[in-house]
Chains A and B, each alone.
Chain A
């Protein structure tokens, strides 16, 4: 399906607005300062090969995914995909936890779901201005593994994906320093 540059610009704009709102909420939630860049937006068919090429990878790493499925006027899902290790570091930095950030325990998963939920809800809220009737949502779920192998994504219909990829920098109060970049992708379908 050919999508015009104007539509892609519109999608980029809506994602930027949504993520911008979510950045403000994460700032409040965590007392951290989140700087976000304008996302790169791509439209692609969802299958293993095209997804890999859209993600610019040949063998994707394990990732943490927060997925929100919806149906109604539009049907699909919105996933926040963060490389697994970055996700652990993100949660540890956002919560200011002490101790070794080596695994994703139940509390960290719950925290990441909330952070992912803040981003996803803001983006969905931003997209809702295009809708004439409200959508129906499932609860957000957490998945771990390779995103392109996730059955929720692979079995989705229609098989059209939007990839919004960005590198985000989480800046903290002076005493905690800057933990560096985290790659965040928001593929929605």
Chain B
């Protein structure tokens, strides 16, 4: 190697952002670059010409010594990871961040007339090491929180199961008692006592029916959200819900194509409520239409009838629990069922011309199978 060429190589090695030290087979340091000089505070003049172990005492240790020996015995490059050897080269200042964690690679090379030499490359892996430590800490914290959540979820599931059982048993026993009560009430009414007694007994029967409806509502409400939402083809939903004697003289038309929505299984009940509402409260309803309008990030299902519509003064209250001329639960329950999968319902009809319900289905909760 000419001295000019050696000088170019030496200058190049000085510009690299890794520490570089070259040793001969007798471990004499022949080159010590500027980066390693900066990290260690040991100058090139102080290092070059000295034995590696005197400048970097860790190489006196048995393990590091053996690894170095392997390099000169033809074993190829040796890697000393930061995990097992956090800091082999001493630092200028122990509190400095540069070179806090080091990765060392010792690689053999042959220099003509000078025999085998080893180039020791020192990489500063402090940033990545600290990031991994931080990442592990975050991961452990998340794993801990996840485990806590699982425990809480199991406890909540158990509590829910107990409440469901309690509610179910109570409803069942209550219905049995009510049936017995209703039976005796029927016997009394069949005897036609007349007068005030007759009136009181009829009020008691109304009250019994109301209690039964409340129990039925409680059952439906309990079932809401218990089963996982599934996809429903809207046209089939309308077709299946609009059956029964009440719809005998009604034309129901659904034009939603292959639109499917993600909904709680009680959607069947919600759709029935809407259709039944159109007939029961429409007074002269003969036609119900279900259509849809695609928006940029949602789809709106529109359900219209040609009945009397909802009076303006009642529009704001029709979804409230207890409002209405029948059970007062139908539209309240409908809104709750739709709300499970993020659907919203409003009434936008014109009084006197018919009711019009708009159901907004959010993105991700509707699809058109077969269409891109």
Contact = CB atoms under 8 A, between A and B. Distances in A.
Contacts of A124: 74-76
A128 B75 CA distance: 7
A9 interface: no
A68 B83 contact: no
Interface in B52-105: 62-63, 66-67, 70-71, 73-84, 103, 105
Given A110-B82, A139-B105, A139-B107, A105 B132 contact: yes
Interface size of A as a range: 20 to 34
Contacts of B80: 114
B129 A137 contact: no
B82 A70 contact: no
B206 interface: no
Interface string A157-174: 000000000000000000
A166 to B, nearest CB: 19
A30 interface: yes
A117 B84 CA distance: 13
Nearest to A134: B74
Interface residues of B, number: 33
B143 A100 contact: yes
Contacts of A121: 67, 70-71, 75-78
A106 B132 CA distance: 7
B170 to A, nearest CB: 45
A125 B83 contact: no
B75 A122 contact: yes
A95 B82 CA distance: 12
B150 interface: no
A135 B76 contact: yes
A128 B74 contact: yes
6 contacts: A29-B63, A105-B135, A110-B79, A121-B70, A125-B73, A134-B110
